Amino acid sequence: DAEITQSPRHKITETGRQVTLACHQTWNHNNMFWYRQDLGHGLRLIHYSYGVQDTNKGEVSDGYSVSRSNTEDLPLTLESAASSQTSVYFCASSDPGRGREQYFGPGTRLTVT
Amino acid sequence: AQSVTQLDSHVSVSEGTPVLLRCNYSSSYSPSLFWYVQHPNKGLQLLLKYTSAATLVKGINGFEAEFKKSETSFHLTKPSAHMSDAAEYFCVVSNTNAGKSTFGDGTTLTVKP
């Protein structure tokens, strides 16, 4: 069965370190998204991609970067981790086209100390 | 531009009684609307979606939602709550072909025995 996976599931890191969160999907979807989830804020879009070599900033992109070298993967990098980036991170993918739902990974809980 | 407002951050019902989770949206164009459910420590799962076909949409686990353009609403209902319905629910609006979506802040549903 097709799926979307994230790794690691839990990560503790120190302020100032670079961290990369992996997202891998086998749906063959062109669209991929990264969100962060914090209490009281729902899910907020960090970065998104509509295909290989395409990346776009979302509403909370400062301090994060992504790259898309193939269809299956969209890694999220925190250049210099800050305590404000402690959160749960979700990756999602979808087909292009109006009304297509997003398929979500299980999430990565990141703690920055 | 698009936005979504979930009118209740918490809803508590007794098992066997009806559920109503309220969602209002704002969109410059004809939107696609979704409800997702998130159980504790899990990813998001699609409950149902509206994409300009029938205004009454049926989803999984007995949930349904009605699109009301005049009221810009997309409320989620279920006739009889079950203990397993206790979760976080997100209303989502999307008005682009590329699938970029805006999430509400979520409604926590508690089901009392």
pLDDT interval class at B84 (50, 70, 90): very high
**DSSP 8-class letter at B55:** S
Q: Do B43 and A107 touch (CB under 8 A)?
A: yes
Q: Do A104 and B97 touch (CB under 8 A)?
A: no
Quick one: three-class SS letters along chain A?
A: CCCEEEECCEEEECCCCCEEEEEEECCCCCEEEEEEEECCCEEEEEEEEEECCEEEECCCCCCEEECCCCCCECCEEECCCCHHHCEEEEEEEECCCCCCCCEECCCEEEEEC
- Report the residue of chain A nearest B6, measured CA to CA: A42
Is the pLDDT reported for residue B1 higher than 80? no
Q: How confident is the model over B32-62, as pLDDT tens digits?
A: 899 999 998 888 999 999 987 788 999 999 9
> Which residues pair with residue A36 across a beta bridge?
A44, A89
Q: How many CB atoms lie within 10 A of CB B63?
A: 20
Over its C-alpha atoms, chain A yields an Rg (Å, rounded) of 13
Quick one: three-class SS letters along A89-102?
A: EEEEEECCCCCCCC
> Angle A65-A81-A5 (CA atoms, 0-180°, nearest 5)?
60
Residues on B contacting A at a C-beta cutoff of 8 Å: 9, 32, 34, 36, 41-46, 49, 51-52, 90, 94, 96-101, 103-106
Q: What value does the mean pLDDT take over residues B68-82?
A: 95
| H or E stretch covering B63 | none
| Nearest CA-CA partner of A110 in A61, A67, A77, A62 | A77
What percent of chain B is predicted at pLDDT more than 70? Answer: 96
The pLDDT assigned to B98 comes to 60
Mean confidence (pLDDT) of chain A: 94
Single-letter residue type at A26: T
Q: What value does the mean pLDDT take over residues A39-54?
A: 90
The pLDDT assigned to B59 comes to 94
Chain B residue numbers touching A50 (CB-CB < 8 A) = 98
Selecting from A41, A98, A104 the residue whose C-beta is nearest the C-beta of B44 gives A104
Q: Do B100 and A45 touch (CB under 8 A)?
A: yes
The pLDDT assigned to B31 comes to 84
Q: Do A42 and B100 touch (CB under 8 A)?
A: no
Q: How confident is the model over A56-112, as pLDDT tens digits?
A: 999 999 999 999 999 999 999 999 999 999 999 999 999 887 678 899 999 999 999
Q: What value does the mean pLDDT take over residues B9-28?
A: 95
The pLDDT assigned to A37 comes to 94
Selecting from B9, B99, B103 the residue whose C-beta is nearest the C-beta of A96 gives B99
The pLDDT assigned to B76 comes to 98
